[in-house]
Amino acid sequence: MPAIRTWLKNPLAVFTGNNLSAEGGLVIANGVIEQLLAAGEHPALPCEQVFDAREHVLLPGLINTHHHFYQTLTRAWGPVVNQPLFPWLQTLYPVWARLTPAQLALASKVALAELLLSGCTTAADHHYLFPNGLEEAIDVQVEAVRELGMRAMLTRGSMSLGQADGGLPPQQTVQQGEAILADSQRLIERYHERGDGAQVQIALAPCSPFSVTPEIMRASADMAQRLDVRLHTHLAETLDEEAFCIQRFGLRTVDYLDSVGWLGPRTWLAHGIHFNPEEITRLGAAGVGICHCPTSNMRLASGICPTLELEAAGATVGLGVDGSASNDGSNLMLEARQALYLQRLRYGAERITPELALGWATRGSAALLGRTDIGELAPGKQADLALLKLDDLRFSGSHDPVAALLLCGADRADRVMVGGQWRVIGGQIEGLDVSGLMADHRQAARVLVNGT
């Protein structure tokens, strides 16, 4: 059957994520980008469909590389509004321990829908909570991803170091190593897709130095090497975490990471704030990636990721919204805006441009997930696209359309395409009853927090 070609014609502006230009738009066939067009250029082959994009800024679908979908149920919860990370976690752990599969399904759909509406087409989630009854949490998330038609890197997280053994999490939230490893292998074998166009992928993600044992870290690294999947964890988020590692292991965070076999190119870390110059050099040389989570880092007063030093050392930097109880949203366009402003505080206005921040949210984030088929507009790449209008009052008088996305605070895409299929049209998700979802999600949030 011949391919149906679609021409997204003459966009208002384009951010390709690379040095290519596409003022005349692009041609899509069989779910991939077939051709980029210069201004005034026409497609090389006939197009059955033409979409006039003259009112749209066109960019690659955004990619979120760190999230906790389940935390949409505990947004802006009063007891933790003004707490830093460790007490924030200790207050929330008992609440999260009550999570059910039905609540997780609702939380995941809400997180994914919010991301999709912001122009995000691929999301990585770090789910490490498996209390009794929630042993198949990742299976629940797979269904949510498929329902929304997005792509995802679902990480099989874990917690094995409870309070009884000197860790932070309560005992009812931790699992034994054998159960963690058996489920990790099951999920990889059942769900992990390889190659261009993969929709669902699995990575291994022991939660943090203060919630898992070194044995699980080493065993996860071994399994990731054997089954060729990626590794993810929180690291160097706060000074409390650094003090914990020194007290418990006699090692700083990067030394600890090295001691358990994680200092390599299949690893990407969430946060990566408190590194010294020597550690930054080691991370870059090893090809470790860093997911910058600016809003969460500001909300919890954790610090500022040294993005430019990391990139100069050879590390890849991407973006993540982090959990929706420390952000408290799931909007990747707003996250890119926050990255722009927070990093300007560290490095100055001249060095941190809107294009750099959007690059972290697209091509940089794709690299963190080990993907070369998404994150930029180029022939042969997946047709994962976000199209945003600048027709709200906040954009009136703006001149540079790409810069206006961040400087004027764009927060909602008009259209979003994943693999050549429209998933958002006119700012609405195709086939999703958002009002009904919100009503069910709000009720689930009340039940989870109140315990009844």
Q: In this structure, what are the phi and psi dihedrals at residue 315, rounded to the nearest 5 degrees?
A: -80, 150
Tell me, letter by letter, the H, E, C secondary structure of 133-197: CCCCHHHHHHHHHHHHCCEEEEEEEECCCCHHHCCCCCHHHCCCHHHHHHHHHHHHHHHCCCCCC
Assigned token pair, 59 = 């960019």
What are 360-376's pLDDT values in tens digits? 999 999 999 999 999 99
Fold identical between 6-60+382-429 and 62-368? no
In whole angstroms, give the CA distance from residue 6 to residue 4: 7
What are 339-360's pLDDT values in tens digits? 999 999 999 999 999 999 999 9
Architecture of domain 62-368: Alpha-Beta Barrel (3.20)
The reported pTM is 0.98
What are 93-148's pLDDT values in tens digits? 999 999 999 999 999 999 999 999 999 999 999 999 999 999 999 999 999 999 99
pLDDT of residue 1: 65
CB atoms within 10 A of CB 261: 18
Q: Note the CATH number of domain 6-60+382-429.
A: 2.30.40.10
pLDDT of residue 3: 80
Q: What is the average pLDDT value for the chain, to the nearest integer?
A: 97
- Whether 420 and 383 have beta carbons less than 8 Å apart is answered as yes
The share of the chain scoring above pLDDT 70, in percent, equals 100
In a 10 Å sphere around its CB, with 0-12 CB exposed, 13-18 middle and 19+ buried, how is residue 171 labelled?
exposed
What are 62-105's pLDDT values in tens digits? 999 999 999 999 999 999 999 999 999 999 999 999 999 999 99
Strand-pair partners of 122 = 63, 151
> Would you give the DSSP letter of residue 363?
I
Contacts of residue 74, Cβ cutoff 8 Å, sequence gap at least 6? 80, 92, 95, 96, 324, 325, 445, 448, 449
What are 257-304's pLDDT values in tens digits? 999 999 999 999 999 999 999 999 999 999 999 999 999 999 999 999
Domain ranges of the chain: 6-60+382-429, 62-368
- Whether 370 and 361 have beta carbons less than 8 Å apart is answered as no
